[in-house]
Structure 1
Amino acid sequence: MDKNGSQINRPMALMQSFWKLQKSIMGQVKQTAADNDLSVPQFAILVQMQHKKQIAQKNLQERTHYPKSTLSHAIEKLVQAGLLNRTHAEGNRREMELALSDEGKVLVDELKAQEHGVHERFKNAVHSFTEEEFNDLINMHHQIATFFEGGGTK
């Protein structure tokens, strides 16, 4: 029950909480991207690439969920800016492999260190949790994801 004594719609309250969090994170992503003269798709590509030596362009599309044309345009701009290297895959001239250039690696490190950037704000938010709170949150997210993936029943 809420403070007025009426029943809380728990699913709706949680969904609204997720929407608010997603809106806050995306607002910060947009601001961090804009502060660094990047589009949101370019920012997403750089973030996805930070832990990969190389990735096939089609695999990057699966990870980002951007339409092929949006992704191609963003990749082209990053290649032109010298932040991303693009080569043909060995044995398949139709497949393109992507890798961060040295300049791209430096930019990703700078993005992660920016005081008011999305990475730093997210890190500070996560560090505000106790170990138990963090583990509980991860477990709850896993439980919700399991229901969406068809594995959970009540």
Structure 2
Amino acid sequence: MMFGSTQPESADSKWRSQLDKFVKANQPELAALSWALWLEHGNSQGTIGIDLQPTPHFVYCPQEAIEKLNDNVENRLQEILGIIEHHQPEVEVLMIGIGKGEVKLIQFAPEPSPPDCFAQICKDVDGLLDLLEQRMNENLF
């Protein structure tokens, strides 16, 4: 028996590690987008999501839809609902990754803060969406 070896990553879970790499490489831009959308809509639209199917794009995940999904999966998303409820948009980024019939919570506190990232990047919401969706399509799948 060998210790320290890892199992090859399954095709179904590969999207998670690809999404992690994308988020890490694009933290300032994601923080800027998160803040810009918060300024535009507050939480009235729900939580920002990155839907990987059929091609990577941004969506809103309304609170009611997440609650219904939580009910359908026997409250296994209860922790995610608590994190969403206590989200502090001025200091952290919160998004939901959606792929292969699964969800993944994306949460990080960038340095500088989301408002500062937005001020430094100098792009509007549409410019940030275009930039990030282009990068997603180049780097995810």
Judge same fold: TM > 0.5, yes or no.
Answer: no
Scaled by the length of structure 2, what TM-score is found? 0.30
Flag the structure with more relative contact order, 1 or 2, with Cα contacts below 8 A and sequence separation at least 6.
2
Larger helix share, 1 or 2: 1
